[in-house]
């Protein structure tokens, strides 16, 4: 959705499992960057620092990076080990604005996504903006919603809601799945196929 909304952005997949985004965003020619030491499976801080160096030198304004699985788990440790205040000082001097978006879903993924959000918040110490993106594809129960809203209010975070497929009918879901599998984006789609995507992407407030 972000790749479609911000066509001028450089798309980076920083995860060690890139199959989904490399396939779905094939038309954007995503750049695969590995940050994990193959031996220890921990983040290579030198490689991560090198990414920021590249961003500083690049003649582009917007970079969208997907961090999932192992790399995402190491991100709070990166902030903790280097010191968020030190990182922020470097980013400000380099004229880089860093925004972290943490996706939270309901059901059986709520516990893991909330635990990660808390860990990320603790490691950044309110010095880096965190936006919580609530994934409507995995709706929260009333109890889960209450817990999430309490945490967001307590920590003064920004909350956005998004859902690529508001129509959960079988035909709509199959159509969207086929478009994602094709990896060609929404350009070239028929008007009544593109209608599934246009409003959710326009309403994505990031």
Percent of the chain with pLDDT over 90: 43
Q: Give the chain's radius of gyration (CA, Å).
A: 18
pLDDT in tens, 81-110: 889 999 999 999 999 999 999 999 999 999
If one counts every other C-beta atom within 10 angstroms of the C-beta of residue 75, the result is 20
pLDDT in tens, 17-72: 667 788 888 988 877 777 777 787 777 778 778 888 888 888 999 999 888 755 66
Domain chopping of the chain, boundaries = 2-203
What's the pLDDT score for residue 43? 73
First to last CA, the chain: 10
8 A C-beta contact, residue 84 and residue 31: no
- What is the fold, at CATH topology level, of the domain defined by 2-203? Rossmann fold (3.40.50)
What's the pLDDT score for residue 161? 93
Q: What is the pTM of this model?
A: 0.85
């Amino acid at each position: 959705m972000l790749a479609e909304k911000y066509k001028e952005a450089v798309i980076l997949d920083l995860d060690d499992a890139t199959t989904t985004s490399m396939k779905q965003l094939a038309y954007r020619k995503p750049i695969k960057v590995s940050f994990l030491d193959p031996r220890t499976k921990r983040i290579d801080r030198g490689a991560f620092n090198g990414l920021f160096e590249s961003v500083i030198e690049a003649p582009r304004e917007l970079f969208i990076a997907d961090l999932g699985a192992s790399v995402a788990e190491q991100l709070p440790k990166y902030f903790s080990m280097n010191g968020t205040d030190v990182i922020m000082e470097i980013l400000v001097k380099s004229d880089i604005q860093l925004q972290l978006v943490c996706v939270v879903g309901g059901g059986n993924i709520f516990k893991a996504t909330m635990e990660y959000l808390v860990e990320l918040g603790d490691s950044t110490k309110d010095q880096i903006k965190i936006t919580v993106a609530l994934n409507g594809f995995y709706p929260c129960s009333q109890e889960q919603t209450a817990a999430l809203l309490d945490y967001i209010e307590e920590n003064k975070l920004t909350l956005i809601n998004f859902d690529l497929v508001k129509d959960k009918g079988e035909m709509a879901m199959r159509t969207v799945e086929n478009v994602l599998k094709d990896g060609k984006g929404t350009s070239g789609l028929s008007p009544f196929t593109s209608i599934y995507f246009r409003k959710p992407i326009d309403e994505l407030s990031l």
